[in-house]
């Protein structure tokens, strides 16, 4: 007997998707940008290179160029994830020790003027609102320093990728005619 689809099934699926997207978005702006960029380089760029109707490049050249994109994506995302995680852990440790102070939070503590949206979100509890403001400032700081780190790592990551790529490309594009 086939079980009929109920309205609960799509709602559960939609809720799971919403929860997944929410968890993904909590990763921070720079991490999300890195994931999307890597996914595009890994999946879309090789297809666009291989099946580009507007180029007269030989098939071997297309294969060689298409292989570079996924290799670069894997090297880039691995290096960026590791470096961003180290950076964020370091920033969190500094914040825990009280070595990161944000002017907005300090001014709010002194004057008692906390942004209204944060105060409302914390049901008027000023202590919780200040903690939320501190976390918001910390998250913004981490995202901005993450962007700077990502930019700073661009050339070294590209250098590593350019070293690894020819070896992998040779293996993947090698013709089996030699056998």
pTM of the model: 0.66
Q: pLDDT tens across 113-124, in order?
A: 888 888 899 898
133 neighbors 44 (Cβ within 8 angstroms): no
91 neighbors 119 (Cβ within 8 angstroms): no
Q: pLDDT tens across 136-156, in order?
A: 999 999 989 998 998 999 899
What one-character DSSP code corresponds to residue 4? Answer: P
CB-CB neighbours of 46 under 10 Å: 19
Q: pLDDT tens across 55-109, in order?
A: 888 888 888 888 888 888 888 889 988 999 999 999 999 999 989 889 989 998 8
Two tokens at 146? Answer: 């993450």
* Mean pLDDT value of segment 16-32: 69
| Mean of all residue pLDDT scores within the chain | 83
Separation between Cα atoms, residue 148 and residue 42, nearest integer Å? 23
3-state class of 166 per DSSP? helix
User: 41: number of CA atoms within 13 Å, CB side?
Assistant: 18
**Percent with pLDDT over 90 in the chain:** 23
Domain spans, the chain: 28-178
């Amino acid at each position: 007997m086939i079980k009929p689809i109920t309205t609960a099934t799509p709602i559960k699926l939609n809720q799971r998707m919403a929860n997944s997207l929410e968890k993904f978005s909590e990763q921070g702006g720079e991490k999300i940008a890195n994931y999307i960029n890597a996914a595009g380089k890994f999946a879309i760029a090789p297809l666009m290179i291989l099946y580009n109707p507007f180029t007269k490049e030989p098939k071997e050249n297309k294969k060689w160029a298409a292989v570079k994109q996924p290799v670069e994506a894997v090297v880039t995302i691995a290096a960026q994830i590791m470096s961003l995680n180290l950076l964020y852990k370091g920033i969190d440790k500094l914040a825990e020790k009280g070595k990161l102070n944000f002017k907005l939070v300090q001014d709010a503590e002194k004057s008692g003027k906390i942004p209204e949206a944060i105060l409302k979100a914390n049901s008027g509890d000023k202590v919780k609102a200040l903690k939320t403001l501190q976390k918001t400032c910390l998250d913004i700081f981490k995202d901005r320093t993450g962007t700077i780190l990502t930019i700073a790592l661009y050339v070294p990551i590209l250098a590593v990728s350019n070293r690894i790529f020819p070896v992998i490309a040779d293996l993947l594009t090698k013709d089996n005619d030699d056998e």
